[in-house]
Structure 1
């Protein structure tokens, strides 16, 4: 089963790209333009990004964009509860691939906090986020189980984390079948952004998105809670799918 733009909820946009390189370059240009618009409008801008392997090319393309990075704040939509010097850290990934060159002038806000428990760490992040502005641009990814950020299907606290309204900004989450506890921003906080993007690569994730739309339950498919305006979905085939046979 595949998905096309008419099958999406009203107001959600769909953009196809020939391959990962084009997706990374064009998404970086669009995000940079949206950040520049925020800078012109209010003097500062806030970007929240996802971790994992998929966004590396996007990060590197974005790092070269000619922005006044000194007025840009960058944060994460989620993080594994590990110190930044660990290989699994999303913050480390951002520092290696995005906060380079001119983009190193941006202010980075990581989510990891050393605390006695995961819940205590989430409470510290919650207090820290209270002093920051709402995001201007959010870039999400999606797993093959339909999760986004660290909002995994079937996990305790998911309903609260996906609620349309609420004061919570950060929640403690446990990812099934992976070794690390997580910290994740909530849907209510992320949805404050006037610009939101979902980057997907490969036919398998396109099919997962179609299955989620057919299933209709955000507790089974958390990505469903984000499929509403102003979201734009950016899809491309994987490098293997576009490689000549």
Structure 2
């Protein structure tokens, strides 16, 4: 399957790359350009990214971009419920690969709170995210089950987290097939981003995306909530 064969909604664009390295480089350039334009227009820029292993190369390339990093706010679309020092921590991943060199000057807004329970931390993050400036750039990933951020099919809080007009910004979430509990930004908050980019790789993810495009049950495949006009998809084999 080729991404050019997908029936994309009007306004959604797709970019194909021959390798993960080329995708990471291009995605970093696009994000840096958008952040730079936001800083020029309003003095600051807000970037929300997804964790996991896939974005490492993108983070490394983005950290090398010439930006006024002191005026960039960075946060996570979701977080695993583990200490920052844990290998699976998204915050730890950012600190190792993105918030380095000049990019270390960026303000990082974390969802994790070691001194609180998961439910308490979700409430605290919700209050903290009320102070988050509008999201200028959102970079999402997607799982083979159609989840994005930590909006997992079958999770107990999914219906509430997927409300289009929901006022809560952060929810505790359970990933049914992996061991860690999660925190995730809500659909309403994520959908408020000025620019949304979806980065995926491999034929299995392309097949998942094709399935998502063929239906409209958002609870079954939460990525469907973001297949909206102005979305840009970055893909490589």
TM-score range relative to shorter protein: over 0.9
User: Which one is further off, 59-68 or 126-135?
Assistant: 126-135
**Alpha-carbon distance, 1:4 to partner:** 3.1
**TM-score normalised per structure 2:** 0.96
Q: SS at 1:184's partner residue?
A: strand
1-structure distance, mates of 2:93, 2:68: 22
What do the CA deviations read for 1:104-161 (whole angstroms, capped 9, x no partner)?
1111111101354311110000111112212110000001111000001111121221
2-structure distance, mates of 1:177, 1:189: 25
Q: Give the aligned partner of residue 131 of structure 1.
A: 131
Q: Give the aligned partner of residue 152 of structure 1.
A: 152
**Alpha-carbon distance, 1:200 to partner:** 0.5
**Alpha-carbon distance, 1:233 to partner:** 0.5
Q: Is the aligned partner of 1:68 residue 2:68?
A: yes
2-structure distance, mates of 1:83, 1:14: 36
Q: Give the aligned partner of residue 241 of structure 1.
A: none
Q: SS at 1:114's partner residue?
A: coil
Superposition RMSD in Å:
1.3
**Alpha-carbon distance, 1:229 to partner:** 2.1
User: Which one is further off, 107-116 or 61-70?
Assistant: 107-116
Q: Give the aligned partner of residue 112 of structure 2.
A: 112
2-structure distance, mates of 1:230, 1:92: 30
**TM-score normalised per structure 1:** 0.93
2-structure distance, mates of 1:22, 1:5: 21
Q: Give the aligned partner of residue 220 of structure 1.
A: 220
- Asked if the contact 1:5–1:14 (Cα under 8 Å) also holds between the matched residues in 2, the reply is no
Moved over 6 A (4+): none
Q: SS at 2:214's partner residue?
A: helix
Q: Give the aligned partner of residue 187 of structure 1.
A: 187
2-structure distance, mates of 1:116, 1:50: 22
Number of corresponding residues: 237
Q: Give the aligned partner of residue 95 of structure 2.
A: 95
2-structure distance, mates of 1:7, 1:177: 30
Give the 3 Å change call, closer, same or farther, for CA 72–146 of structure 1 in structure 2: same
Report matched runs for 1:1-245 at 5 Å: 3-4=3-4, 7-237=7-237
- Asked if the contact 1:3–1:207 (Cα under 8 Å) also holds between the matched residues in 2, the reply is no
What do the CA deviations read for 1:59-87 (whole angstroms, capped 9, x no partner)?
00000000010100111000011111111
**Alpha-carbon distance, 1:216 to partner:** 2.6
Unaligned runs of at least 5 residues, structure 1: 238-245
Q: SS at 2:104's partner residue?
A: helix
2-structure distance, mates of 1:155, 1:106: 33
2-structure distance, mates of 1:219, 1:130: 25
Unaligned runs of at least 5 residues, structure 2: none
- Asked if the contact 2:199–2:235 (Cα under 8 Å) also holds between the matched residues in 1, the reply is yes
